[in-house]
Amino acid sequence: MSEQLQLRRGTESQIAAFVGAQGEATPATDTMRLHVHDGATAGGWPHALEARSAVSDANYSVKITDRQVAYTAITAARIVSLPAASSYPVGATLTVIDESGACSPVKTIALSRAGADTINGAASAVIACAYGYLALESNGANAWTIVDQSTFASLVANAAGGVLSASGAYAILAGSLSAPILIGQAYGNGSQPPKNTFLGEASRSGAPGTFSAVQAGDTLAGYTGAGDNGSAFTAPAASIHFVTTQAWTSTANGAAITFGVTANNATAAGGGAEAMRIDNTGYVGIGTTSPGAPLDVAGNIQTHGSHGSAVQLGVIEDVIACSGATSTSTQQIPNRAIVIAVSVYVVAAITGASSYNVDATTNSTGGAGGSSGQFGSNLGIAAGSNNVGVIGPTAWYAPSTIKLTANGGNFTGGQVRVSIQYLLCGAPTS
């Protein structure tokens, strides 16, 4: 007469709460995995099921018995659907790998969650490079954790942003993002800075595969840098951004590059304040967002020698409120400056006078200045009137303010912007 041996058995969740006798074995009816007990540990010690599923150029749904999903061929983006984290054996590692070498930022392998499960806290994970892989473990409830990955780029993404969690080839982040992509945190020895680069593509569309043109001022891509302040990472303190300069069409793709910085003893925010840009014509603007020449600097330009000697090309501006017979600026011609011109612009229409003259309060040698209009006479009083008061380059050996003299009656109102345009030389310092 034959005999049949039956062991106590149950599902993985049932066995997880069961403490078997020492040496007792219980099979899991849902995974067919054998658990060996020691008389003390709930769930015992599960025997690993090493199952490899080879996939040739197709989407794939992972089985709870799979331990490796290997793509042997891939010609288009493919999706690997994970089982519910609650059904996958706790402690078992699932590896998804590209063995074909054909995976790329276009031909990706995307790992898709089941229901509301998460993958490293996100909705999906993407392998986007040749021979890339991801190794995951389930918590037995509602989450997967990436425990290993290739040295090439794999990407975790969700609706709030993305994290590029490895170095190497770039990866595609699909989805509608409201937060930037974090490329990486670098910990060095103080002498080797991180070198992180990524390729960005931007759309106003709310979903991959649909299109909505970017508009002027949109950011195409950006690279920002934050640092450890001793207790936490700061907000980005410096940045390079690629921005649009017009609404894009199939034939109009104007773009510029901006550079942001944060001053010493200031708080970092948003990649810093814009300090320089290269506009859509190739013009470089420093301190201005609208360069009008190949190099346009808002402020002074200086060149210097190796021992401190310098030549500065400068512009000093001031606004004079017009009142009485004469009105003077607060700003001055610098001592020993070589003046090229003093230019003016009527900001608010002048009243009371029929015209006005522009002079230095003191002459070039420090004596009293005239009032006949060294930098322009009988000038217009309407708002928007302007004049470039060019003179033969003249050295001023003492500081001097600029004086406006009323013609045909005293000033009773109006404002004039004054611009002192000059060269200033500096002696060697050593």
- Over residues 36-64, the pLDDT tens digits come to 888 988 988 887 666 789 999 999 999 88
Q: How confident is the model at residue 1 (pLDDT cuts 50, 70, 90)?
A: low
pLDDT at 52: 85
pLDDT of 251 over the 80 cut: yes
Domain 53-164 CATH assignment equals 2.60.120: yes
pLDDT at 126: 87
pLDDT digits (tens, 9 = 90+) for 269-280: 778 889 999 999
pLDDT of 151 over the 60 cut: no
Q: Is the CB of residue 280 less than 8 Å from the CB of residue 255?
A: yes
Bridge-based pairing of strands 143-149 and 118-119 is parallel
* CATH code, residues 311-426: 2.60.120.1110
pLDDT at 257: 95
CA dist., res. 241 & res. 218, Å (int) = 10
Mean pLDDT of 317-323: 97
Instruction: Return the closest-CA partner of residue 374 out of 395, 394, 360, 356.
Output: 360
CA dist., res. 229 & res. 271, Å (int) = 16
pLDDT digits (tens, 9 = 90+) for 23-39: 899 988 877 778 888 89
pLDDT of 331 over the 50 cut: yes
In CATH terms, 12-46 corresponds, of 2.102.10.10, 2.10.10.30, 3.10.20.90, 3.30.70.360, to 2.10.10.30
Sequence-separated (6 or more) residues with CB below 8 Å from residue 392: none
Q: What is the domain partition of the chain in residue ranges?
A: 12-46, 53-164, 238-298, 311-426
Mean pLDDT of 245-249: 93
Sequence-separated (6 or more) residues with CB below 8 Å from residue 14: none
Please tell me if the domain spanning 53-164 has the same topology as the one spanning 311-426: yes
Backbone angles phi, psi at 207, to 5 degrees: -155, 150
Sequence-separated (6 or more) residues with CB below 8 Å from residue 123: 113, 157, 158, 159, 175
The DSSP secondary structure of 377-407, one letter per residue, reads SSB--STT-EEEEEEEEEEESS-EEEEEEEE
Q: How confident is the model at residue 209 (pLDDT cuts 50, 70, 90)?
A: low
Distances (CA, A) of 191 to 52, 187, 194: 45, 11, 10
CA dist., res. 382 & res. 409, Å (int) = 16
| Length of the chain (residues) | 430
Predicted TM-score (pTM) of this structure: 0.54
Instruction: Return the closest-CA partner of residue 122 out of 88, 87, 164, 80.
Output: 164
Give the other-Cβ count within 10 Å of 85's Cβ: 24
Rounded to a whole number of angstroms, the CA Rg of the chain reads: 36
pLDDT at 319: 98
Q: How far is CA 424 from the centre of its chain?
A: 38
CA dist., res. 251 & res. 352, Å (int) = 54
CA dist., res. 140 & res. 10, Å (int) = 16
Using DSSP's 3-state secondary structure scheme, residue 87 falls into helix
Range with the largest mean pLDDT of 49-53, 172-176, 213-217, 382-386 = 382-386
CA dist., res. 364 & res. 396, Å (int) = 4
60 against 192, higher pLDDT = 60
